[in-house]
């Protein structure tokens, strides 16, 4: 933990997966926010299988989710959906990185959650926009931007090492 706890007293609901969202909420946790990562029992974070693995545990996933509380929910069940809505009423920030279709299906769009808590800061991290249901990852951004042409060969471009897009 950092010595400066700028976000102490702030509660963040982390509804993100893979890298961008978990990295953002990890930074908030590092600076003192209480971050509650919502885990999905039927569709876990794919990062849980990313190397390096030790005894079946992903160092990548653990690095991005250190200092966070975890809560497993399945929003197909009304009682789990209500548990989320109860958390939303007392939270300060909600962070998600889902497509509009998924948010609507789960009932967690900004309009819905901000009606339950008008002071809620709703942060949406998408690679494209708020209308497109296209999933967007760093490797796609690197390919579409031409960045991959700087690595590998002209016949076989490669993703550069770190996630930068």
pLDDT band at 158 (very low <50, low <70, confident <90, very high): confident
Is position 156 within any domain?
no
Is position 76 within any domain?
yes
Is position 2 within any domain?
no
Given a cut of 80, whether residue 131 has pLDDT beyond it is: no
φ, ψ at 125 (rounded to 5°)? -110, 105
Range with the largest mean pLDDT of 8-17, 40-49, 135-144 = 8-17
In sequence order, what are the residues at sequence separation of 6 or more whose Cβ sits closer than 8 angstroms to the Cβ of residue 161?
none
Is position 113 within any domain?
yes
Is position 115 within any domain?
yes
Is position 99 within any domain?
yes
For the chain, the average pLDDT equals 88
pLDDT band at 28 (very low <50, low <70, confident <90, very high): very high
Q: Structural domain tally of the chain? A: 1
C-alpha distances out from residue 70 to 18, 103, 115, Å: 15, 20, 25
- 21's enclosing H/E stretch is helix 20-30
Is position 139 within any domain?
no
Digit-coded pLDDT (tens) for 49-58: 889 999 999 9
Domain of residue 58: give its range: 11-134
Is position 162 within any domain?
no
Distance, in Å, from the CA atom of 75 to the CA atom of 79, rounded to the nearest integer, reads 8
Q: What is the CATH number of the domain that holds 18?
A: 3.40.50.10540
Find the Cα–Cα–Cα–Cα dihedral 65, 145, 149, 48, rounded to 10°. 20
Digit-coded pLDDT (tens) for 65-95: 988 999 999 988 999 999 999 999 999 999 9
């Amino acid at each position: 933990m950092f010595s400066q706890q700028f976000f102490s007293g702030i509660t963040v609901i982390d509804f993100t997966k893979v890298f961008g969202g978990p990295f953002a909420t990890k930074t908030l946790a590092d600076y003192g926010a209480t971050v509650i990562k919502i885990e999905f029992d039927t569709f876990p974070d794919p990062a849980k299988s990313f190397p390096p693995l030790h005894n079946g545990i992903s160092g990548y996933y653990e690095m991005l989710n250190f200092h966070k509380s975890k809560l497993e929910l399945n929003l197909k069940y009304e009682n789990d959906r209500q548990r989320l809505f109860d958390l939303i009423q007392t939270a300060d920030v909600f962070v998600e990185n889902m497509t509009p279709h998924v948010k609507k299906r789960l009932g967690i769009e900004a309009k819905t959650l901000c009606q339950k808590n008008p002071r809620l800061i709703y942060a949406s991290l998408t690679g494209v926009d708020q209308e497109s249901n296209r999933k967007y990852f760093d490797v796609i951004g690197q390919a579409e931007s031409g960045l991959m042409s700087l690595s590998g060969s002209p016949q076989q471009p490669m993703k550069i090492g770190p996630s930068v897009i």
